[in-house]
Structures are given as C-alpha cells and as structure tokens.
Structure 1
C-alpha cells in the first residue's frame, strides 16, 4: 500500500473517531479525556511494539525526537483539538484542524526542500478547496443540529483549532527525520503517546484545575475512550508515521486533511440529517483531488 492510501486511511479513522469523541470529551473535559485516551493508546502501542520486536529499533537520538514530537503534536495539539471540538463540534473543528496541511507544506518546503509537480499542486488545491467549501458552507440548514452548535466564543474555538493544526504540523516535521531511519513506526508512535501521557499526568499532579475531569469516568465512557484511542491514536497515528517514511510531509498532510470530507457520510448516518449541497460539492472536489494525488 502506497503512502497516499495510508494517509487517507488515517484520515478516515480520525473522522470516525471525532464522532465517537463527542460524548466522552464532553463528559470528562478536554484535558481529562486526552489523558485517558493517551494512556490507553500508550498501553496498546507499547504492547504491539513489544510483541513485534519494534523496541529493538529505537536509538537514543530517536527517543528525544519522538518525545519532543509527542509533547508538541499530541500533548498540546490533541488537547487543543478536543477543546475546539467541545466548542465547535466535530465538523467545524475538522476544518480548522485540516489547516495542518498548509502548515506542513510550508514547513516541508523550507526545511526539507520538498516540492510538488504541477499535477500534484492541482490535486492538492482541489482537496483544500473542497475541505473549505464543505465546512464553511456545509452548516447551512443545520441550525437545529446539536453537533453544529457553537459553545462559547467562536474566536477562542478558531484559535484552539489553528493551534492544534500548527502543533500537528510541527509534530510531523520533528518526526520526519527519525522516520527516515530504520525505526519501527509502532515503537515511534508509542514513544510519542507515552511522552504526552506523562506530561498530562504531571499536569494533573500539580493540582491544576483544567487537568481535572468534569465528571467521573464510568464504564461506557471508558470503553468509548479506549476504542477511540485504538482507532485514532494506535492505528491512525501509526499509519501517518508509516506514510512519512515514504512520502513528503506536505503531501501526507494534505491527504490526511480530507478528514472533514469523510465526516459527511458518517455524520449523515449518525444524525440522520443529510448534509447540504455545498458540503457534497466540496466533497466531490476533494475526491477528485485525492484521485489525482493517489494515481
């Protein structure tokens, strides 16, 4: 499987997990939810790397790179994303998070001298245009949809979403050189998750109010959180690291930014309300752009 399909598979898993996240994220709060989610993902990934022997590929320089990548991309980025999701819902948070593709492409150009062909630029432009159209105009006619309701300040939500996108891009940039070595992507992903989980745990130990759960965790919330951790973090994030081994940062980011488009049919099934024509037109543009990129 080429890196393009790996990035698209990760985007689908992130779309599915964002809907699953709505209930537990609101129940626990963004910090507590991220902590539980990262804890579950750390156990899953560390166990997988132990079984497959992936830990033997880890070197001292790779540890420091993955720890920094995890702190920026997951500890800060993931927590900001769920804070945004609690305020703006999964679809609108998805648009803001998809901006990590732009950040990644710019950073990749300056740091790694990555470039795209004319055809790839056309495909990338269609993907991004489709994402923007589907989200910005896709809210029309959905005013009574609970998942479209904005809670609190819109500008704070936008700032959180863009912060999550920037941190995701920086996390990928930092991980890229290490992923070009022989390191096992599962072990690399496990180190990123564990560093983020440790940072969250230390924050909780300080007694910081924001780190405490809004409500006590229960069995259903834990199961949803663990399942989400497996889909989005254990599988999705690992697929991205595999993709980074073969593809450039900007291209991987652009393909993984199709998450908001993939959310449309998932939200239709979940809410039983069909997205409007703008959402579908945007989805069509993104599909065409993705087809150009993965040909």
Structure 2
C-alpha cells in the first residue's frame, strides 16, 4: 500500500540531495561536460543491469519511438538546461524553477490533450507560480553570503533555462506516461531514455566549440560527485518516478515529486549553516500547496 507514493517521495528526496552534490562538479566541469559524464556512467550501470535481468524484452517495437523522443526532450534537453541553470542560479532557485514541471504538465494536458482544468486546478497553477516568484525574489537575506546564493550572469537567462528544464521534463513525462502504464520495465525504460541523452551529449562534445568541452580536468573528487549524482538522481530517482507512474495516480505522483524544493531547504541550512529566508520557506510551501490543488490531492 502506498508503494507508488513512497517511490515518488523518495525520488524527490534524492533529487534534493543530488541538487546540492551536483553544484560543485557541474561548475567545475561545465554543465554540458558534467551532464555527458553523468549520463554515460548511469547508462553503463543500467544497461548492464537490464541485460543481466533481462529487461529489454519488455520494450516493444511500438514503445521505442516514444521512449527515444521522451529521452531526447525530457533528459537530453531538460537535464542540460537544468545544469546550465544550476551553474547560474544555484541549487535553491533551480529546484524551485524545476518544480514547475507539475503545473506545466497540468497546463499542457489541458491545452494539448483536452483534459479538464477546473477552477481549483487553475488556482493551484497560479499559487505554484506565485510560490516560485516569491522564493526567487525574496528567498535570500542580505546576510546570506554562501556562494550558492550568488547569481552568475543575467538573471533572466537563468530563469529561461530553469523554465526550459521544467517544460522539457513535463513533455518527456507526458510522452512516457502511456508507455509506463502499458507495463514496460521502468529500469529498461530509464536505460533507453538515458542512453539517448548520452548519445546526444557525446555528439555535441565532438563539436569544436570550447563551450561543450570540460572547463577543468576531471579529478577523483569530481568524478565521485558525478557518479553519486548520476546514480542517485538519474539512475535511481528517475527510475522510481517511472515506476510510480506505472501504477500510481498521476496527480499524486506529480505533487509528491514537486516537494523537492521543500525537502532541499533544511539540507541547504545544514550544508551552508545559513537559514534560508522566510520567503524561501513560504515559496516552497506554496509550490506544494499549488500542486496539491492542481491534482485534487
């Protein structure tokens, strides 16, 4: 009982932890190089596991194209935008922006799939967006000096990247949802989606532009950070979400997965020794409340 809900909440907790762990290696290597190493590591681990089980057989011919498209949009585009935003905005603001994938999913379902959006759901969308705006605008006190609270470059670029990550995640999930409901092995689906992202990032890395190359050499500590964030956040976290979508109610799963910013605040407090501002706490709470209203939880 509640196994799907527990899986979604566990994924949110893993994303909260890995969002903090990923900050240093992502800034050290650069977002694209970091994400490429991360995807290659996770794909290798998942592919070995799925081959040994075996689990590839659960993916039918009619599942391939949707999963490939879901991996390209949700992981290749979404995760790259996510870590570009992380390097500019820090973990707290990035997590808040990424949590908007739940209300964005509701809006896309209404616009593209003709799903009903009630007055309560519309209020939830507005509350969630208000929570993110509040947390970004008033989520930092003047006394907070930790580098994770610094904004690098124009704020609007970070905001666009964070919103692009949330949108990509929403579209990727919408594409994958019917495939998961059909009974495809979640680990095999994750391996395929991540493999698509790893392939795309490897092609990009072959370009002559220095922007796609590692900004600094790999070190043992950075490699450990890449492996931890990849296996915990992408390998286990995303697989848990796909498992949760295979049997749980989409609304509840989406709401629980959007609790990452709220879970991350006490972790930030413990890590930086600086209590997040009141605006950050209120904003995170509004995001969770808004998502709950959207899906009638």
TM-score above 0.5, yes or no: yes
1:254 aligns with 2:221: no
Is 15-24 or 5-14 further displaced after alignment?
5-14
Q: Deviations over 1:10-46 (max 9, x none)?
A: 1111111010011100110000000001111111221
* 2:103 counterpart of 1:99: no
State how far apart, in whole Å, the 2-side matches of 1:126 and 1:41 are.
35
Gap runs ≥5 in structure 1: none
Alpha carbons 1:18, 1:90 under 8 Å: kept: yes
Match of 2:47 in 1: 46
Contact residue 42 and residue 194 of structure 1 kept, 8 A: yes
2:209 maps to what in 1?
A: 208
**SS of corresponding position for 1:215:** coil
Change (3 A) 1:126 1:11: farther
Q: Which residue number corresponds to residue 226 of structure 1?
A: 227
What CA RMSD, in Å, does the superposition of the two structures yield over aligned residues?
2.6
Q: Which deviates the most, 76-85 or 271-280?
A: 271-280
Pair 4,134 (structure 1): closer, same or farther in 2 beyond 3 Å:
farther
Kindly report which structure 2 residues correspond to 1:83-98, keeping only aligned pairs within 5 A, or say none: 83-98=84-99
Q: Is the 8 A contact 1:108 1:249 kept in 2?
A: no
* Cα pair distance change 1:147/1:169, threshold 3 Å: same
Matches within 5 A, 1:256-295: 256-284=257-285
Match of 2:70 in 1: 69
User: Structure 1 residue 120: deviation in Å?
Assistant: 7.8
Unaligned stretches of 5+ in structure 2? none
Structure 2 SS opposite 1:163: helix
Change (3 A) 1:294 1:99: closer
Deviation at 1:252, TM superposition (A): 3.2
Deviations 1:177-230 (A, max 9, x none): 211112101100000000000111111223333221001111111111001101
Match of 1:167 in 2: 168
Who is 2:155 aligned against? Answer: 154
- 2:11 touches 2:233 (CA, 8 Å); kept in 1? yes
Q: 1:48 to 1:203 in 2, by over 3 A?
A: same
| Residue 239 of structure 2 corresponds to residue 238 of structure 1 | yes
Q: 1:206 aligns to what SS in structure 2?
A: coil
For the structure 1 residues 289 and 83, does the alpha-carbon distance in structure 2 shift closer, same or farther, using more than 3 Å as the test? Answer: closer
Secondary structure of the residue that 2:217 maps to in structure 1?
Answer: coil
TM-fit CA distance, 1:124: 7.5
Query: Are residues 242 and 81 of structure 1, via their aligned partners in 2, closer, same or farther at CA, if it must alter by over 3 Å?
Result: same
| Distance in structure 2 (CA, Å) of the matches to 1:245 and 1:56 | 17
CA shift for structure 1 position 287: 6.3
Give, in whole Å, the separation in 2 of the partners of 1:118 and 1:158. 27
Tell me, in whole angstroms, the C-alpha distance in 2 between the residues paired with 1:294 and 1:243: 18
Task: Give CA deviations for 1:119-153 in whole Å, capped at 9, x if unaligned.
Answer: 88888876665555444422123542211100011
Q: Does 2:58 align with 1:24?
A: no
Residue 35 (1) aligns with residue 29 (2): no
- Matches of 2:114 and 2:39 in 1, distance apart? 33
Kindly tell me: are residues 70 and 284 of structure 1, through their superposed partners in 2, closer, same or farther at Cα, counting changes over 3 Å?
closer
Contact 2:105 2:170 in 1 (8 A): yes
Determine if contact 1:134/1:278 at 8 Å carries over to the other structure.
yes
Task: Report which stretch shifted further, 204-213 or 33-42.
Answer: 204-213
Aligned with 2:25: secondary structure?
helix
- Whether 2:57 is the aligned partner of 1:56: answer yes
